[in-house]
Amino acid sequence: MHFTREQIDNLHHIYKINLINSISGYKSANLIGTKSGVGIPNVAVFSSVVHYGSSPPILGFVLRPTTVNRNTYDNIKETGLYTINHIHEGIIEDAHHTSAKYPAAISEFDKTDLEEQYINDFYPPFVKNTAVQIGLKYLEEYHIKANNTILLLGEVVDLYVKDDLVAKDGFINLAKANTATINGLDTYMVPKTLKKMTYQRPK
């Protein structure tokens, strides 16, 4: 199939967002945990978390325009802290439900079986029983003018990984944890390890 830009613009809305959300390939599946200044926890699913550097360790994610309430964004800007937690096969349905738009006064933890976990006095909650849990502090943000979204960058300050997932070289075996990935908008998959390659040098 071939789609020109004009044809893409004229596609039915649902068809278009399903199509374009699939073309980047598999996306990370994460729950971002925050807490408001008055102590109300929030957790929301994001498929846009991306590695931006290892030294210092920086992760970024994209938020839609803040023309409507964005509890995750508001809480991060208010407190400067948040968590990223990998979604695994056992929590996919509850994780996906966090995409529902609840008012700021309602915690998604109360509307799902997801559980808050507080580690070493870190203010926002981690998601209990997730294999990879990351505590971050807000670094900076960039307004993407093309579609009025925000790229938010955070520095990793705490990292918790289940012992049996970390190889001697530091590699985290996500397949062993049944870590999920997202295809498109709302289809979750659990990948398997095909082959681990070595560092490549010119022949």
Strand 41-46 relative to strand 30-35: parallel, antiparallel, unpaired?
A: antiparallel
Q: DSSP assignment, residue 97?
A: H
- For position 40, which CATH number holds? 2.30.110.10
Q: What is the pLDDT of residue 164?
A: 95
Task: Answer yes or no: is 87 within a domain.
Answer: yes
Question: Model-level pTM greater than 0.75?
Answer: yes
How many residues comprise the chain? 203
Task: Answer yes or no: is 159 within a domain.
Answer: yes
Q: Which residues pair with 82 in a beta bridge?
A: 136
Task: Answer yes or no: is 82 within a domain.
Answer: yes
Task: Answer yes or no: is 142 within a domain.
Answer: yes
Q: What is the pLDDT of residue 69?
A: 66
Task: Answer yes or no: is 194 within a domain.
Answer: no
Task: Answer yes or no: is 31 within a domain.
Answer: no
Tell me the mean pLDDT per 10 residues along the chain, length 203: 96 96 95 96 96 97 77 96 98 96 93 97 98 98 94 98 94 95 94 86 92
- Which of 137-175 are b and which e, b meaning 16 or more Cβ less than 10 Å from the residue's Cβ? ebeebeeeeeeebbbbbbbeeeebbeeebeeeeeebbbe
Q: What is the pLDDT of residue 31?
A: 98
Count other Cβ atoms within 10 Å, centred on residue 96. Answer: 17
**What's the Cα-to-Cα distance from 141 to each of 22, 114, 136, 164, 181, rounded to whole Å?**
25, 28, 14, 35, 25
Domains held by the chain: number: 1
Q: What is the pLDDT of residue 68?
A: 57
Q: What is the pLDDT of residue 175?
A: 94
Report the C-alpha gap between 79 and 194 in whole angstroms: 41
Please name which of 120, 34, 123, 140 lies closest in space to residue 85, comparing C-alpha atoms. 34
Q: What is the pLDDT of residue 199?
A: 85
